[in-house]
Amino acid sequence: MLGFTGYGLASVVVALITWAWGLPLLDRLIAMLAPPITFLAVVKGTKRVTGKERIVLYQTALAGVVVVTVISAVVDAHTARLVDATTIGIGVFLVFGRLGCFAVACCHGRPARFGVVYGEEHARLGFWRRWVGRRLWPVQLVESAVSCALCVIALVVGWNHPGVPATIYGVGYGVARFALELRRGDAARPHKLGVSEAQWTATATLVVIAIVRPGAATLAAAATLVVALAVLVRRTKQRELTLAPHLREIDRACKALLASPAESRRETSLGIGISCHTLPDGRRDWVLSGNHSAWSMTIARRIAGELWNGSEFVAGRIEGVAHIIEAPRESREIANVLGSADG
């Protein structure tokens, strides 16, 4: 419902600003129809190729901008203004789209000291049960607010300057999205060299903007993301153990051990060994060890904090071995109930 609301309001905004800019009917039709048709085509094409529906807003948004640019160039329309209108329309849609993500707990953040709490009703929709009742970074709300602010700033500053609104929004959103990806906790997004798909896309987008519209701001923003990307790639080994995909892999290994008590040990694709022992008081003692080059007690402690809320962390007598002793069952149940009620 929020997605449809966003689309409806975005259509109204695009219609109003293209009318206010005095664009002819053909230009207005291009701005109104090309982006949603492109969106549907990309989603359907992706489903046909991969066999499952996967909506990646960044890619579909960029595809819409490219299609509008090509069509407007072919029919000799007002290209810069149409790109501005398309970008603002996408930004307005994103404001409501991310509110929808927030409502159903997709595109969620990582554990934090403050933030949103999701309950069992969200887990039934696919939210990770490990984080039920825990406070998570409200990345969806932050992105929604950023998109709203950028739309307003872009229109106010660039109202009389064709191409400026799209540039302001594109640069601002690229920088914000790159940073927010560091706090994302959902594991469905692909990563390459420890960098998420959206971070690669944001960097490439800003480089293109800097080439098309060179200036102090665009060049500085593009250079900043290129440097940040290089730093993340360089630190891949230090970061990959605590990225969302590996945390989910550890979780699956734990579930497999509990489902098969005869199995004594599991190991992840990154070389983290996991075993489980039951203590006399009924608590579980999860033992982690690793042959990964970046494995350390600091990494182990961070994994423990991400996966075992309220657990006791104990460094093993053997170097490189960590014990994560679960909180008592009653404490965990009370924490989950309180977290769900708070949410």
- Three-state SS for 111-136 is EEEEEEECCHHHHCCCCCHHHCCCEE
User: What percentage of residues in the chain have a pLDDT greater than 90?
Assistant: 62
Structural domains for the chain: 2-234 (no CATH), 242-342 (3.30.780)
Q: Where are the alpha helices (DSSP H) in 195-327?
A: 197-212, 216-234, 236-239, 244-259, 297-307
Query: Quick one: tokens of 284?
Result: 């579980």
**pLDDT for position 338:** 39
Q: With a cut of 50, say whether residue 340 has pLDDT above it.
A: no
Residue pointed to by tokens 């109104």: 32
Distances (CA, A) of 323 to 43, 55, 219, 286, 310: 45, 39, 48, 6, 13
Q: 42-51, 62-71, 189-198, 238-247 — which is least confidently predicted?
A: 42-51
Q: 55-59, 120-124, 172-176, 207-211 — which is least confidently predicted?
A: 55-59
What is the DSSP secondary structure assignment for residue 242, as one 8-state letter? G
Distances (CA, A) of 93 to 36, 171, 313: 11, 18, 44
Q: 232-291 pLDDT, tens per residue?
A: 999 998 899 999 999 999 999 999 998 887 788 999 999 999 999 888 888 899 999 998
Taking residues 112-125, report their average pLDDT: 91
**pLDDT for position 329:** 54
Distances (CA, A) of 150 to 30, 170, 175: 23, 9, 12
